[in-house]
Amino acid sequence: MFKGIILDLDGTVYLGGHEIEGAGDFVRGCHRHGIATLFVTNRSNRTPAVVAAQLQSYGIECGARDIWTSSQATAHYLEAGTAYTIGEPALDEALQDEGFTISDQAPDYVIVGFDRAFTYAKLKRACNLIHKGARFIATNPDHGLPLHDSIAPGTGAIVAAVATGCQVPPLYIGKPESRIMTMGAERLGLAAADILAVGDNLTTDIPAGHAAGMTTALILTGYSTRADLAAAPVQPDWVVESFAELKEIVGT
């Protein structure tokens, strides 16, 4: 039996503002069987407290300590310094919690996250600062966010604009890189081999879990479809249609 489960959020536990059927019941079952859970998300624009409150509304027992965002992972991974950010307040908060100073005056880093107020002026500032020597960091490469009936442009769309403008590639912290997952395992206090990574995205969740040395399960509740499996370079260990099916695998 697994000792820990790392769950993606968007498209896995919820879609838009609605719980994926069975998500809460699955997490409660894990807790009854002594299996630790951690929610790891590429989203950088919400604080752990806000995310935890949403999960609590689904009857999921969790606190801010059980959430690990790409903003937190970015702030934890980098050596503290000065940073110009393209993002929303949660990104700055995570950075400041780790000792960073937010500044647009010769910063050590330009850090790009999800930003619904992204402008050409921000793009120009970021490109100029990178040209002057700031290190280009991206919280994640997500192309889009799954909604109920559409896809919203994600952080990756903004990162691509900056990368094109400055002709410098970023260092990615979030999925599909293993960094955020390895930090998640450390947060759980477990070895990667004892963790099942569950997500809905074949281009981010599954490669990240695999690269970190975890068993992976694709749940077909969000971004990727069964048809996408044929072209996926990293295959999940399991593919499930629902949390009910996942419960059978985990034994809860």
Contact between residue 186 and residue 179 where contact means Cβ atoms under 8 Å apart: no
Q: How far is CA 181 from CA 18, 36, 53, 63, 66, in A?
A: 25, 15, 22, 19, 13
Contact between residue 180 and residue 155 where contact means Cβ atoms under 8 Å apart: no
Q: Of these residues, 10, 92, 108, 205, which one is catalytic?
A: 10
Contact between residue 3 and residue 35 where contact means Cβ atoms under 8 Å apart: yes
d(CA 80, CA 96): 9
The 10 Å CB-count burial string (b at 16+, else e) for 44-63 is bbbbbeebbebbeebebebe
d(CA 35, CA 118): 40
Q: Of these residues, 8, 108, 200, 205, which one is catalytic?
A: 8
d(CA 95, CA 75): 5
Task: Verify whether residue 205 is a known catalytic residue.
Answer: no
Task: Verify whether residue 8 is a known catalytic residue.
Answer: yes
Contact between residue 138 and residue 109 where contact means Cβ atoms under 8 Å apart: no
Catalytic residues: 8, 10
